Structure 1
Amino acid sequence: MFGLGWLEVVALVVIALLVFGPEKLPQAAAQAGKTLRNLRQMANNAKNDLQAGLGPEFSDFDPADLNPKNFVRKHLTGPLEDDWNRDSADPPVHVDSYAAEAAGELGYGEIPPYDPEAT
């Protein structure tokens, strides 16, 4: 429940009883529930308005993809997960051009090539 342990929940209940008192606590909880429900409804309406305003070409748009964590996960690991046949035991091995060039590594004491235009 929101990453809280039972000890934290008990502490929150005790603090709520001390702040609101036993008479007003049910009213405060009901008001908090209504406020949360209204906020959730407003967020859903804003999401639906945004998707409707973007048009059909953005039908697969999800605002959660704008979260940097989800964005990086989707764009860095997306093609690998799509190509991987989940029935096979081993995932495919992807070799890019940099890895192929890295196979010709320099030996000890060798001087790397110098490109004056790159500096």
Structure 2
Amino acid sequence: MFNDIGLPELAAIIVLGMLVFGPDKLPKVIQDVMRTIRKIREFSESAKQDIRKELGPEFKDFEFEDLNPKTFLRKQLENDDLGLKEIRNGFDLKKEMAEVADAVHSYDTDPAPSALPSASGSSSAAPGGRVDMTKKPASPGRDDRPPFDADAT
């Protein structure tokens, strides 16, 4: 419950308790707090036992910690009924990417059946079906405007 409280935090709590309650009342306040924490723990344990009893014998191995998503996933991945380890070990991302890159490069080296014309009517395709992205397209002049479409405006 208080696993993340270190020595500096504990010292600060003690000093603050001494200032607020004084050295006379501090031991009684600590006893009251401990008694309250003990009662809360007993209440939660009895509630857990009641829930287990109501669920029946089918859920005798049920643990409330399993309701935490991280714990649930860790337990399911350790179980590995689905064969996830085989899938994870059989998948090689570098190999898959190399195959995709090879397929793309072999497609680029095949001659293209026809080059697509650009807006100005000239072909901007380089040999081998590649589009030369280093060349800037010719800026359209006044005569190269697309036709006016009244429905589009």
Deviation per CA, 1:24-76, whole angstroms, max 9, x where unpaired? 11111111011000000001001100100000011110011001111111112
Give the equivalent residue in structure 2 for 1:41.
42
TM-score, structure 2 as length reference: 0.55
Deviation per CA, 1:61-96, whole angstroms, max 9, x where unpaired? 00110011111111123338xxxxxxxxxxxxx423
Counting matched residue pairs gives 98
Deviation per CA, 1:11-31, whole angstroms, max 9, x where unpaired? 110001011111111111111
Is 2:55 the counterpart of 1:64?
no
Unaligned runs of 5+ in 1: 81-93, 112-119
Q: Whole-Å Cα distance in 1 between the matches of residues 88 and 11 of structure 2?
A: 57
Q: Whole-Å Cα distance in 1 between the matches of residues 42 and 66 of structure 2?
A: 20
Q: What RMSD over aligned residues (CA atoms) do the two structures have, in Å?
A: 2.8
Give the equivalent residue in structure 2 for 1:14.
15
Q: Which one scores higher on RCO, CA 8 angstroms, separation ≥ 6?
A: 2
Unaligned runs of 5+ in 2: 108-153
Match of 1:8, as an amino acid? E
Larger radius of gyration: 2
TM-score, structure 1 as length reference: 0.69
Match of 1:69, as an amino acid? K
Q: Whole-Å Cα distance in 1 between the matches of residues 92 and 27 of structure 2?
A: 68
Identity %: 36
